[in-house]
Amino acid sequence: MNESYGNSRASSSSTTSSLNSSSHGTEDDHTIARILAEEEENALKYGGNKLGRRLSHLDSIPHTPRVIGEIPDPNDATLDHGRLSSRLATYGLAEMQIEGDGNCQFRALSDQLYHNPEYHKHVRKEVVKQLKRFRKLYEGYVPMRYKSYLRKMKRLGEWGDHVTLQAAADRFGVKICLVTSFRDNGYIDILPKDIQPSRELWLSFWSEVHYNSLYEIGEVPARVRRKKHWLFF
């Protein structure tokens, strides 16, 4: 009888613990959503779609999602970087330098979304969720087993590609404006599928090497690391 009572108490305790854990998880989700909404509002106040209005005359090419191509040799990479720098100067754009730790695409997206590159883990998580949930939209562009691709993209430090950019545009409902180092395709619009974009994110792409976050010349924010809420660590 005591054993039965003990088991009953253990079961009750386990159930209570599970409910508490679920409750805390829900509270954490709400907290994260609130924090990110505040950060996004601040980012909109800072920049909004001002770049898009000023550069609306640029001709873009249709975007085709693809995985990472061949890494250029040092000579070609140097030429590509020079071409990108010249293009940015012509457009009146400047880069906020993003850390080159393998997360640069997600850091640059985070900076544009939340005016803070340190939310890159959240951005990556949401992009992978999008890729997983809407597999049929993306798997045709991935030349490997799709589950392996998802496992790879979940890892911190794994380079993003043009498939993840499309998934980011779809997930966040934004237009991603990509100024590139490509010789012929200097400007690419990445539009969300089936919805009107709510805002524009501006990134530079040094082909197969690095992404940075773009601002008007003279408006690049100071690189002061802002604190994150502990839930994002």
| Domains in the chain, number | 1
- Would you name the residues annotated as active-site residues? 101, 104, 210
Instruction: List the domain range (segments joined by +) for residue 186.
Output: 72-214
Task: Give tens-digit pLDDT for 32-60.
Answer: 556 665 555 655 555 545 676 667 667 77
Distance CA 101, CA 153 (A): 14
In the prediction, which pLDDT does 217 show? 93
Q: Is the dihedral of CA 55, 61, 65, 71 positive or negative?
A: negative
Would residue 15 count as lying in a domain?
A: no
The answer to whether the CB of 131 falls within 8 A of the CB of 125 is: no
Using pLDDT thresholds of 50, 70 and 90, give the confidence band for residue 13.
very low
Would residue 99 count as lying in a domain?
A: yes
Q: What is the CATH number of the domain that holds 197?
A: 3.90.70.80
Task: Give tens-digit pLDDT for 117-151.
Answer: 999 999 999 999 999 999 999 999 999 999 999 99
* In the chain, % of residues over pLDDT 90: 59
The answer to whether the CB of 117 falls within 8 A of the CB of 110 is: yes
Residue with the two structure tokens 């140097």: 78
Using pLDDT thresholds of 50, 70 and 90, give the confidence band for residue 82.
very high
Distance CA 96, CA 203 (A): 10
